[in-house]
Chain A
Amino acid sequence: MASSFKQIEDKLKTEAKKLLKTGQVSVVLAYGKGYDDNHPMPYIAKLPSDADNIVFNEYCTHNLARYLVRYPKGTKIAVAVKAADSRAVIQLIQEEKVKREDLILLGLPAYGMKNSKTGEIIDSQTTCGLYNPVLYDTLLGEEVHGQPVVSPYDVLAQYEAMDKDARFEFWKKEFDKCIRCYACRKACPMCYCDPCFIDQNNPRWGEKSPQSHGNLMYHLTRFHHLAGRCIDCGECSRACPVDIPLYLFHKKVAKECEEMFGQASGMRIDDKPVLVNFRVDDSDKILE
């Protein structure tokens, strides 16, 4: 039987307090109160007393791995990770952005996370469909079992079956909605470039105002930059104020990468990200 959110929250508080008191870490990345219960926010605990402010409920969807790269290298950090979040941490370790020994991962096995905009349960439709962290030091609760195993790529079938012109129209309509607020980029744990390619002036890769061609450039390139790195947490799409289903494209690219290169992102620390790696016997068929 999986633990309730309340039980996990209590364990998280105790653990955070202990880690901060003993000085094992200087910050704990967790969740705190937002303007109401349905909108908790990322919370950074620095003092043992801060630990009392930590909350965890079904709306704590944010991927806290996002904040790891903000700290100078060598900072000891404890971070609360759900399933996809732990994959993000693994991916960041692979990319040498953080070191395993600097991190303490507090695993949160949680089924029943909800999208705070729609109230719907988040499952393999919009995320990778895992509920237990892949990597953790302490698991704060019982492992989740008994959820049906569904491929996170099943949802793609209907879009893959579309005629290409219809698919172009579909994406054009979606991308045209984009207001270029960059919430997707800000929410994403793997989007840490500074500056982002789209903010560069020389070369100027694409228009910066929200016009359809600039939007197309921004999104296609972003999908490309996240190829083999996106860990399918779905945060980009949940952060988007105009509800563009970015996760669909990310899933498609992830699926292709997995098929072509035989490796899913963020599953093992010793893997190398697929696009900074190669095999001499990669087939030329992948280019067809």
Chain B
Amino acid sequence: MSFEPKILGIACNWCTYTGADLAGTTRLQYPQNLRVVRVMCSSRINPSFIFRAFQLGADGVLVGGCHPGDCHYNTGNLYARRRLAVTKKILEFSGIEPERFRVEWISASEGNRYAEVVTEFTEQVKQLGPQTKFKISR
């Protein structure tokens, strides 16, 4: 059986989550590997969520937020951009593949782009194979 990755998606309520809804209502097809959690803003994402997700067995983490300048709270995603950039560098230096973590800006009207990003990211994580470095073995 081919490897089906488990991917955690964290989407902001106002843009990416609504974009995902749009992708759904327009009946776009995309892989089902993504489990989406909705947060109110991309700056709500505590970087420990991402470390924890990898520990609990996620093979990849995809964060979606509003395009810079479009944040519902004006500046949330601008803080998130800096913070998550640091998260990525930390993941990289710790030795996990940084490609397993991605941040994308997807607006509420970009249902197509949502489907594309999910498809592409799922494919990328599939190529990398199962994530074992952080995963807690029980």
- Enumerate chain A interface residues (CB-CB to B < 8 A): 159-160, 164-172, 197, 205-206, 213, 216-217, 220-221, 223-224, 227-228, 249, 252-253, 256-257, 260-261, 274-280, 282, 284, 286-287
Q: Is the CB of A257 within 8 A of B95?
A: no
Q: Can you give 19 A-B contacts (C-beta < 8 A)?
A: A164-B92, A164-B97, A166-B95, A167-B93, A206-B52, A206-B55, A213-B136, A217-B51, A224-B47, A249-B90, A253-B86, A256-B86, A276-B79, A278-B81, A280-B69, A282-B68, A282-B81, A282-B82, A284-B105
Contact of A168 among B51, B87, B96 (CB under 8 A): B96
Q: Contacts of B94 on A, CB cut-off 8 Å?
A: 167-168, 171, 216, 220, 249
Q: Contacts of A224 on B, CB cut-off 8 Å?
A: 47-48, 86-87, 90
- Contacts A164-B96, A169-B95; is A216 near B85 (CB within 8 Å)? no
In the bound assembly, the distance between CA atoms of A166 and B86 in angstroms comes to: 21
Please give me the residue from chain A that is nearest to B133 by CB atom: A168
The reply on B35 being an interface residue by CB < 8 A is no
Contact of B81 among A167, A169, A206, A286 (CB under 8 A): A286
In the bound assembly, the distance between CA atoms of A168 and B69 in angstroms comes to: 37
Q: Contacts of B90 on A, CB cut-off 8 Å?
A: 220, 223-224, 227, 249, 253
Shortest beta-carbon distance from B78 to chain A in Å = 4
The reply on B84 being an interface residue by CB < 8 A is yes
Q: Is the CB of A217 within 8 A of B79?
A: no
- Contacts A164-B96, A168-B133, A286-B85; is A217 near B48 (CB within 8 Å)? yes
The reply on B27 being an interface residue by CB < 8 A is no
The reply on B29 being an interface residue by CB < 8 A is no
In the bound assembly, the distance between CA atoms of A183 and B110 in angstroms comes to: 49
Given contacts A252-B89, A260-B82, A287-B103, 9 further A-B contacts (CB under 8 A): A159-B93, A167-B94, A168-B133, A171-B95, A213-B136, A224-B47, A224-B48, A253-B93, A282-B81
Q: Contacts of A170 on B, CB cut-off 8 Å?
A: 95
Shortest beta-carbon distance from B33 to chain A in Å = 21
Tell me the number of A-to-B contacts counted with CB atoms below 8 Å: 99
Q: Contacts of B83 on A, CB cut-off 8 Å?
A: 275
Q: Contacts of A169 on B, CB cut-off 8 Å?
A: 95
Main secondary structure of the interface of B (DSSP, over half): helix
Interface extent on B, as a size class?
Answer: 20 to 34
Q: Contacts of B85 on A, CB cut-off 8 Å?
A: 260, 286-287
Q: Is the CB of A274 within 8 A of B82?
A: yes
Contact of A227 among B75, B78, B86, B95 (CB under 8 A): B86
In the bound assembly, the distance between CA atoms of A197 and B79 in angstroms comes to: 20
Instruction: Identify which of residues 98-138 in chain B touch chain A, using a CB-to-CB cut-off of 8 Å.
Output: 103, 105, 133-134, 136
Q: Is the CB of A256 within 8 A of B89?
A: yes
Q: Is the CB of A168 within 8 A of B81?
A: no
In the bound assembly, the distance between CA atoms of A279 and B78 in angstroms comes to: 7
Shortest beta-carbon distance from A265 to chain B in Å = 13
In the bound assembly, the distance between CA atoms of A41 and B96 in angstroms comes to: 39
